Chains A and B, each alone.
Chain A
Amino acid sequence: MLSSIAWVGRCLSYIVLKEVKIVGEKINAILINEVDDVATAIADFQKGDVGTFDRNGEIIKVVLIESVPKFHKFAVTDIADHEPVRKYGEVIGVSTQKIHKGSHVHEHNIASPVYDNDVNKG
């Protein structure tokens, strides 16, 4: 049985192609799976910039409320504290605070979903 993640990998280029060449929208972010809570910036964003990506053929725009470096993630939805955060259609971490839509998502606001407090290094 093929996993959804492999399928997503195969479809990614199609998504990019469709947006750039057919829809004509300026795409500057990638949402890998429709259930994902985060998109990946493919340009450097400043506060107030608009992240534009495709979700199932629909162009979605999210206003960045802080700067996000190229290839980093931003929230495409509000995420409550202690909630699973999804990318690739899978859980990549758990929020450690409330995350507002348009925020930079990284170590400061999500952590590995594995409870790993018996050692506290690095």
Chain B
Amino acid sequence: MKFYGYRRTDGRIGIRNHVLILPTVGCASETCRIIAGLVNGAVSLVNQNGCGEVEGNRKLTQDVLVGLAANPNVYGTILVGLGCEPNCVDDMAAIIKTKTNKPLESVVIQEEGGTVNTICKVVKLAQNMLLGATSCHLEEFDLSELMLGIECGGSDATSGLVSNPVMGCVSDKIIDQGGTSMFSETPEIIGAEHILARRSSTPEVGQKILDICVELEDNLKKVNESLRSGQPSPGNKAGGITTLEEKSLGCIHKGGTKPVVEVVECAHQPSKKGLIFMNTPGYDLLSVTAKVAAGCQLIVFSTGRGNPIGNPIAPVLKVTANHDTFVKMNDNMDMDLSAVLDGEKTMEEMGELVLEEIINVSRGKKTKTEIHNFGYSETVIRRMCDYV
């Protein structure tokens, strides 16, 4: 089986062909949004960070922004900074150049003399970059070049019963062909971490899974908080999930049956292929952002109650086994998996259909997050005093 993509100058394969207008600091975010709205094929995102942050947070900001620029769905990046921020365009450009040799430009608002001059300059740079991007053409590649990000959010009981196990089938199929599948959200493996740890490729990887769970719970205890005061969410409970342990036992199904070969930190690119766990908070906007920053070309989002979130760089394919949700939130939902719950299809058959849809999306079929040109730009970056 093959998927379709664009080979980048750094050798990686993207399934979209964006020019990224990337604000290095919050002050430049609106300017970037305006520019991306003027140039067909350009995308931008909201970056609230880059200033007013300590060194540790600046590093977390850079991990994500650099990773997004390096994501193979991006043909090239234009950095837009303000000029006085700690996370300056020169530092960002230097780090990006250690990761990729793709086209890169930098513009500073204070040097250009304001928003209007910056818009004029970046629009011209972007149009030239898009001429390069649109000269690229889709080619066939082995699934070994694919890195799928698997997310679950707005879960109800159907998530653990059907949509997460179907995602697990998809994950297994991609890994069988040499590819990579990444899941994340550390709070949502707590109560089931022993199962993942047993299934790790080495004792060290298994221990790492146990350690990150202890670390998360300990960090919250230090500030007299408990994970279970926020988990499961009110929506999870209304959907039939009672405890965090029950939620986690459903969540880990999306990792399929393969051994976990590596645990990576938030937004870090894995060094191995196969099943990867990323240590992230459970906040969907953050964990989707982090997986795209790690290089995932596509996110499959499994939900029970429905969710509208998208991503500026990677298509987000929404699947649900709750038929009522599929009908009610149809403008947000891509696939209805409820035929498995009804006994009309097996998990394996549905997994095949989802994989076929992933191939279709790589070939250019738009997900619901892309089809409206709403410009979904959700981007959340973790902090040292963190989201949960």
Which residues of A does B touch, CB under 8 Å?
1-3, 5-7, 9-10, 12-14, 16-17, 19-21, 27, 30, 32, 40-42, 69-73, 87-88, 90-93, 105-107, 110-114, 116, 118-119, 121-122
Summarize A's interface: helix, strand, loop or mixed: mixed
B229 at the interface (CB under 8 A from A): yes
Report whether B229 and A21 are in contact in the complex, using a CB–CB cutoff of 8 Å.
no
What chain A residues lie within 8 Å of B228 (beta carbons)? 112, 114, 116, 122
Residues of B within 8 A of A (CB): 156-158, 160-162, 164-165, 168-169, 191-192, 195, 198-199, 221, 224-226, 228-230, 237, 239-240, 242-246, 249-250, 252-253, 256-257, 304, 322, 340-343, 345-348, 350
Cα distance, A113 to B191, chains bound together (Å): 9
Most buried by A among B221, B253, B304: B253
CB contacts (< 8 Å) of B158 on chain A: these are: 71
Q: Is the CB of A110 within 8 A of B195?
A: no
The winner among B164, B221, B245, B347 for most chain A CB atoms within 10 A is B245
How many Å lie between the Cα of A30 and that of B341 in the bound state? 9
Q: How far is the CA of A14 from the CA of B250 in the complex (A)?
A: 18
A10 CB to closest chain B CB, in angstroms?
6
Q: Would A93 and B243 count as touching, CB distance under 8 A?
A: yes
- Contact partner of A17 (CB less than 8 A), chosen from B165, B237, B343, is B343
Please state if A16 and B343 are interface contacts (CB–CB under 8 Å): yes
Shortest Cβ distance from A108 into B: residue? B242
B233 to A: closest C-beta gap in Å:
10
- Please, how many angstroms separate the alpha-carbon atoms of A93 and B247 in the complex? 11
Question: Contacts of B162 on A, CB cut-off 8 Å?
Answer: 12-13
A114 to chain B, nearest CB (A): 7
- A105–chain B nearest beta-carbon distance, Å: 7
Q: Are A116 and B165 in contact (CB under 8 A)?
A: no
Decide if A9 touches B343 in the complex (CB within 8 Å): no
Question: Does B245 contact A92, Cβ atoms closer than 8 Å?
Answer: yes
Q: Is the CB of B240 within 8 A of A6?
A: no
Bound-complex Cα distance A27 to B350 (A): 20
Given the known A-B contacts A9-B168, A119-B229, are A92 and B246 also in contact in the complex, defined by CB atoms under 8 Å?
yes
Residue of A nearest to B159 (CB): A71
Residues A92 and B243 in contact, CB atoms below 8 Å apart: yes
In the complex, the chain B residue whose C-beta lies closest to that of A1 is: B198
**Contact A88/B340 with A112-B244, A122-B229 known, Cβ cut-off 8 Å:** no
Q: Complex: how many Å from CA A41 to CA B239? A: 11
Complex A-B, nearest 3 residue pairs according to Cβ-Cβ distance, in ascending order:
A9-B165, A121-B229, A92-B246
**Can you pick out 14 interface pairs between chain A and chain B where the beta carbons lie within 8 Å of each other?**
A3-B199, A5-B195, A40-B157, A71-B239, A72-B157, A73-B157, A87-B246, A88-B246, A92-B246, A93-B246, A105-B242, A112-B228, A116-B226, A119-B226
Having A2-B257, A42-B341, one finds 20 other A-B pairs with CB under 8 Å, namely A1-B199, A3-B199, A9-B253, A10-B348, A13-B350, A14-B346, A16-B340, A20-B342, A32-B161, A40-B157, A71-B158, A90-B191, A92-B245, A106-B237, A107-B242, A111-B243, A113-B243, A119-B225, A119-B226, A119-B229
Residues of A within 8 A of B169 (CB): 10
Residue of A nearest to B230 (CB): A122
For B199, what are the chain A residues with a Cβ–Cβ distance below 8 Å? 1-3, 6
Bound complex: CA A60 to CA B198 (Å): 32
> Could you tell me the distance in whole angstroms from the C-beta of B222 to the nearest C-beta in chain A?
12
Q: Decide if B242 touches A110 in the complex (CB within 8 Å).
A: yes
Among B221, B250, B304, B347, the residue within 8 A (CB) of A88 is B250
Q: Check B161–A30 contact: CB distance below 8 A.
A: yes
Q: Are A40 and B240 in contact (CB under 8 A)?
A: yes
> Contacts A3-B198, A6-B257, A71-B156: A27 and B243 contacting too (C-beta < 8 A)?
no
Q: Which of A13, A32, A93, A119 contacts B340 (CB 8 A)?
A: A13
A35–B224 Cα distance when bound, in Å, is 36
- Chain B residues with Cβ below 8 Å from A107 are 237, 242
